[in-house]
Amino acid sequence: MKKSNIFWLFAFASFAFTILVIASLAFLFWQQLPPTDRALVVRLARQYIGYIFSAAVFLLAGLGFGLDWLFRLYILPLDKLAEETRLIHSVNPSHRIHLEGSRDIVRLVDIINEAADQYETLNNRLNSEIQRARAEADEEKNILAAVMAELPEGVLICNTEGQILLYNKRARRYLIGEIGSLESSDVSPGRFIGLGRSVFGVIDKHLIVHALDEIARKLKCEDTDIASYFVTMGADNRLLRVEAAPLLDHHRRFTGFILIFHDITLQMESGSQLNALLRSLGRGTRASLASIRAAIEAIIEYPKMDSGQLQKFEEIIHGETINIGRIIDEATSTHFGSLRSYWPLTQMNARDMLAATAKKAAETLNLEIQTEDVGEDLWLKVDSYAIISALTYVQKRLAQETGSRRLAYKMIREGRFVCFDITWEGKPIKPDTLRNWEDQVVTVNSQSLSSTLKEIIEQHAAEIWSHAYKDSRKAYLRLLLPVAESAENGRIRNLTILPKSRPEFFDFDLFSQPGQRPELDHRLLSELAYTVFDTETTGLNPQGGDEILSIGAVRIVNNRILHEECFDQLIDPRRQIPEESIRIHGILPEMVSGQPPIEKTLPSFHRFTEDTILVAHNAAFDMRMLQLKENLSGVQFSNPVLDTMLLSAAVQPGQKNHDMEGIAARLGISIVGRHTALGDALVTAEIFLKLVPLLEKQGITTLRQARTASRKTYYARLKY
């Protein structure tokens, strides 16, 4: 309990006790008086009641003024002294205390300010050393950043939970396109990439889980090639070939993974153009070849024809030969740029494919699988995710058709191909049934690919058919796949090992962070990710028709403001902007003309805030503005909310001013870009980070404790 509360509680108790004592003495005195004296006292009291009442009022007023004087001179300064002293040693060493109070308190303030001068000097000296060490670390970090920026591939590093720890600009461009306004066609809607965000927001989770399962198998088998490969769609319809590799600590424990992106869109386009070239050559040369064949057959059939007739046939052959040459020249010149080899598939060891297919069939379909060792080191060119999903789909349909729950795998090499046989006891699958399966989209449980079984088989230049063994009641499905002659060059051969001590220039603190979905209320404030935001509006009356003009936001991850991960969008309010509002925020009508409306902006902002705590100054106003647009935009902001105004009132109740300027001045924060949405959001973010250690000094360390402390303040009772 604060000293001021204790003082007034003690004063009230003392006053009540004094009244009780006086009343008790008066009652005892009254009981001892004879009746005649009592009558005299009553008569005198009635005669001089005005004087007695006035004396009592003056006595109580004097007592009240005296207590208030003592309170303001000795008690109230102590609470403020504690708050401002905490400011000096916690967040703002340059802050100095200016208080009015008793002579002893003023002397104590002078002593604290002298100590603060010495503390600031030592702190500045220490900060200089820290800055020097940080500059050295930043130099190494800049080298790393420069190297990553110049890489021709996109690189993205994640922890075990799929949270993004590090990425380069090329990865961001591949996955979400160029950063721009909501009107930009380069931005993939709903896709954000940033530190602390989940990679599953930009890449299908099933693809990554499949790759990690394959890596885990290779690590368990101590395979030298521990990378996994898959193909996914990126921004702007890019086709990306992704190489996944594990991150291991010094104990060889899995702590994360690296994704390396290669844009193979042009290769795929080259393949399509090559197919077009072949079709063009086929159509153009078919008639000429037929004429040549007919002429040659006539010469063979009539070897003794006269010279004139023979010369005509020779002229036909010569002319059609020239025509074929012309067609080839025209086609090759037209498609010259596309005559490049392309192969969007990646190489996979046959044993790994056998094991992965068996594991997935057992886990997803509850089948009993018996496998036979390949017998030699075979490599296949496959899209591992697509082909294993297709095989799982085939086994699901096979179990439904035959009722068999026990299957056997066998993989043998026949020349340039590998035969993958799936065997069961029973009758073979009819060709019509198999063709029906091929025309269906590959779906297993809740996972569905966009391709049919036939398209996946054609993509791999494979064949599938059903057959029965001779002299046996067993049947099998055979998938014929082309063999890759050797393991692919350029693969990652060695494990990626992190050093024992974490490099200072990496933001790898999230490696030890909890998962994405624990109970937020019990999480420490320092562990959470935040979106700090602000709005600029046409006025201060949300229900009176005022509209949002601008939304600005910045993310805080790992107690750091991520300046590169901002949301800054002007909004067309579709109404006039009052002059008094323009004088505050400077947003003119022509600035918002042509900008997206609120119903288009809020869904994008909602996705930007996913899995974070919302933070704002006077958040009730901003949240009310967002709430009124829920039906129009179709999104609801259900994130937990913290308010820096309420948090400031919770840690500094003795201060009267809790507006943004007042808090920033006390915490030593320079205000830049005031009354712009993004500028205010950045200031609010700095204020919040300085309030966190002050909250911890008062034992407020979790999200739930912060909300509870905010709810107890006076400002929490204001409604919008």
Active site residues: 675
What amino acid occupies position 109?
Answer: V
Q: How many CB atoms lie within 10 A of CB 558?
A: 17
Distance CA 261, CA 202 (A): 13
Name the residue among 159, 214, 259, 153 with its Cα closest to residue 385: 214
Element (H, E) at 70: helix 49-70
Name the residue among 275, 278, 245 with its Cα closest to residue 260: 245
Q: Is 426 left (phi over 0), alpha (psi -120 to 50) or beta?
A: left
For residue 71, give the DSSP letter.
I
Residues in CB range of 621: below 8 A, 6 or more apart: 540, 542, 720
Distance CA 678, CA 195 (A): 19
Element (H, E) at 241: strand 239-248
Contact at 8 Å (CB) between 684 and 588? Answer: no
CA atoms within 13 A on the CB side of 351: 10
Name the residue among 561, 498, 510 with its Cα closest to residue 254: 498
Contact at 8 Å (CB) between 713 and 655? Answer: no
The angle at the Cα of 90, spanning 88 to 95, to the nearest 5 degrees, equals 20
Distance CA 423, CA 406 (A): 9
Distance CA 475, CA 467 (A): 6
SS3 474: strand
